Structure 1
């Protein structure tokens, strides 16, 4: 029979509060690095937490083991004009790197899904990089399908445009 140690404390999912911001921010910094999203239209910064918390605090969750936050989920809902559907958007789901293979992400996702359903959401959306295979596998395991590829282009406005040879301006 296996012994349970103090390290195997229960996982608890709860509402995020303002005091959680620093720890959530640092987990996000650890997970959502520049390499993770070099040209993604949104990047991880302190405004991601505050903006979502101020608009949809009931969809801002943290996962705790003991008194330590080990993951978070930030979501929002969207009601489009002239549409009977309400959409849920899981904007960020972050879990400390040292425990990403555990139940934390699954538990956060399950609670987010439950809360969105309670709010009348009919379709839940996520996005991730096409090469983020662990995230794609995670979401497929939780019922997401219909992967759609989008072309994402960027234009660096700090570089001068190259002139074509032979043309005078």
Structure 2
């Protein structure tokens, strides 16, 4: 089994992170008919890398980046029990490395970062028909909570 290291991303990783972002978009495009044609971007990666309110993590195998994810501190709604929570995003594993437990390692590191900052809850969004992603998140302990619905007019 290959050794996988999880570390904080640096600006030197930006080129690979931008490629990973396009991988996320390509994977999610079939689930979202509202996305504009390419090229699009989901994230402001330089800002995330610089933010003290977020951490971008990467998975590294044999000195190659093979996965990513971030957690950022979000303000909760005024009616929630918690004041802040960790919002997860940019969860990506290179296709040739899927099934190696990398997503679980990234999620565990995100949980650890959030807990170290006193956060008691993590949240994320996933497309309702993206069953592989849903299974991966459920395996890590996540459960469905709210389903956002839409209709074109």
TM-score range for the pair, normalised by the shorter chain length: 0.7 to 0.9
Aligned length: 147
Establish whether residue 39 from structure 1 lines up as the match of residue 37 from structure 2.
no
Where relative contact order (Cα < 8 A, 6+ residues apart) is larger, the structure is 2
Establish whether residue 71 from structure 1 lines up as the match of residue 67 from structure 2.
yes
When residues 81 and 90 of structure 1 are mapped into structure 2, their CA distance, relative to the original with a 3 A threshold, is closer
Structure 1 residue 58: Cα displacement = 5.3
CA contact (8 A) 2:21 2:42 kept: no
Moved more, 88-97 or 73-82: 73-82
When residues 36 and 20 of structure 1 are mapped into structure 2, their CA distance, relative to the original with a 3 A threshold, is farther
Question: Which residue pairs with 2:125 in the alignment?
Answer: 127
CA contact (8 A) 1:52 1:75 kept: no
When residues 81 and 142 of structure 1 are mapped into structure 2, their CA distance, relative to the original with a 3 A threshold, is closer
- Structure 1 runs (4+) deviating above 4 angstroms are 81-84
Question: Which residue pairs with 1:114 in the alignment?
Answer: 112
CA contact (8 A) 2:31 2:129 kept: no
Moved more, 97-106 or 15-24: 97-106
Question: Which residue pairs with 2:12 in the alignment?
Answer: 19
Q: Deviations over 1:12-43 (max 9, x none)?
A: 100100010111111221232133544269x9
Question: Which residue pairs with 2:141 in the alignment?
Answer: 143
CA contact (8 A) 1:128 1:136 kept: yes
> Where do 5+ consecutive residues of structure 1 fail to align?
1-7, 156-169
When residues 48 and 145 of structure 1 are mapped into structure 2, their CA distance, relative to the original with a 3 A threshold, is same
Q: Secondary structure at the match of 1:32?
A: helix
